[in-house]
Structure 1
Amino acid sequence: MKRQFAVIGLGRFGSSVARTLFSMGYDVLAVDVDGERVQDLAKDVTHAVQGDAREEETLRAVGIRNFDVVVVAIGQDIQSSILITVLLKELGVKCVVAKAQNELHAKVLYKVGADKVVFPERDMGARLARNMVAANILDYIQLSPDYSIVEVATSENWEGKTLRELNLRARFGINVLAIKRDKKLIVAPGAEDLLHKGDILVVVGSNANIDQLERV
């Protein structure tokens, strides 16, 4: 059965999440108190509803507990994001992903039941900084303060070599999760997989080890 998502708060972050999930084929409910925002997004999601998610009646009316994941994309109004997170968990939502403004906000969100907290502005800033200083790092996702997943462009001296020959795990403490080759994704590649020109490695490791890899 196809997973269902709800996004509460249709600012730039919330709208982007909602549109992306819908474009990937998922059912998406979008909720915001601002009717203009709801109208703007109506054609890009399954359902768009104007309502105040701080009211329990609103959340019940849209059947919020039936959604697999609810994203609380409200960042500026910290009090509202916390209240909505509390209501969602009390109503039985299994997974709540909430946007935080800062570390203190994040701690409170976790305390009241958020399953995952994200920092869109901070994470995008970190991605941009890494992409600017490391030409071979194409994308960057921070898993925790110490670990990340990155996409690494294959350098010329890696071409024609196997993963065994590169031995990235022993040299850098990096694990290769996949190889992206044109439109093909090779998941969990083997030690004898050969790297071609234009290949992109999807790797996971500590930020310290990734920093070393960037200098290769």
Structure 2
Amino acid sequence: MSARRTDHSGIVIIGLGRFGCHLAGSLTQLGHEVLAVDRSPDRVQRWSAQLDRVVQADGTEEAALRQLGVTDFDRVVVAIGASVEASVLSVLALAELGVPQIWARATSEKHAKILASVGAHHVVFPEAETGERVAHLIVSRMLDFIEFGDDFAIAKVPVPSSLIGRPLRDLVPTERYGVMVVGAKLPGERFRYAGPETVLMPESVLIVEGTIDQVQRFATLS
């Protein structure tokens, strides 16, 4: 079976474990065509009704990947987590095929170094990233939290009661708290960009950005 395409919008997912199947489903919902590959016939059968194209094949074999037309795709994600050896061999095969963007799931720092050394361009730690994010949510009033590199974060927080009823121009949150309020959702309205004239109302939700410590401190204001 070949998955050859005339454009480069599709994405290949190798491995339909818990992470791979959720990733494939999310990409499909976002409007991307997904070619999912797994060596397990049970997994292929289970997901064939929910995903566009699911193929039973060995994602570690260069010849099998070439036959599927994987070289016609710009982005391939190696989502294998149960076997370090299989994930490394899959990345190596994709690198030999010259795939432009190889994303790979790692289960440890050592695993990540090996993946990078054999050709992965992007390495992700889904379990670690999810655990850290949930930890921030548990110990704070934040409703959502995204951490970026270099100690930078964006968070969704309920408006502190001490800021209610005043425009951001008077509150100067950047000077007082070190964070920038970039968006606000007033009661009954949609999220919108926040400006100097934005007045924070009770039950508003804010999107703020700053260092991790600054965002955490702002989320503790009452």
Structure 1 residue 41 corresponds to structure 2 residue 47: yes
Q: Which amino acid aligns with 1:144?
A: G
Residue 24 of structure 1: how far off its partner (Å): 1.9
Q: Deviations over 1:3-52 (max 9, x none)?
A: 32221111111111111111222111111111111111112222101111
Does structure 2 retain, via aligned residues, the 8 Å contact 1:33–1:53?
Answer: yes
Residue 127 to residue 4, structure 1, CA distance change in 2 (3 Å) = same
TM-score normalized with structure 1 length: 0.85
Does structure 1 retain, via aligned residues, the 8 Å contact 2:8–2:74?
Answer: no
Does structure 2 retain, via aligned residues, the 8 Å contact 1:2–1:26?
Answer: no
Does structure 2 retain, via aligned residues, the 8 Å contact 1:85–1:109?
Answer: yes
Query: Sequence identity of aligned pairs in percent?
Result: 37
CA RMSD of aligned residues (A): 2.5
Q: Which amino acid aligns with 1:155?
A: P
| Inter-partner Cα distance in structure 1 for 2:218 and 2:26 | 31
Equivalent residue for 1:204, pick from 198, 209, 214:
209
Residue 185 of structure 1: how far off its partner (Å): 4.0
Does structure 2 retain, via aligned residues, the 8 Å contact 1:2–1:27?
Answer: no
| Inter-partner Cα distance in structure 2 for 1:60 and 1:177 | 46
| Inter-partner Cα distance in structure 1 for 2:119 and 2:172 | 41
Structure 1 residue 151 corresponds to structure 2 residue 141: no
The structure with more radius of gyration? 2
Q: Structure 1: 5+ residue runs without aligned partners?
A: none
Residue 129 to residue 67, structure 1, CA distance change in 2 (3 Å) = same
Partner SS for 1:98: strand
Does structure 2 retain, via aligned residues, the 8 Å contact 1:100–1:106?
Answer: yes
Q: Which residue of 2 aligns with 1:54?
A: 60
Equivalent residue for 2:13, pick from 7, 16, 37:
7
TM-score normalized with structure 2 length: 0.83
Q: Which residue of 2 aligns with 1:30?
A: 36
| Inter-partner Cα distance in structure 2 for 1:97 and 1:83 | 13
Equivalent residue for 2:144, pick from 125, 134, 139:
139
Partner SS for 2:161: coil
Equivalent residue for 2:23, pick from 17, 25, 30:
17
Structure 1 residue 88 corresponds to structure 2 residue 89: no
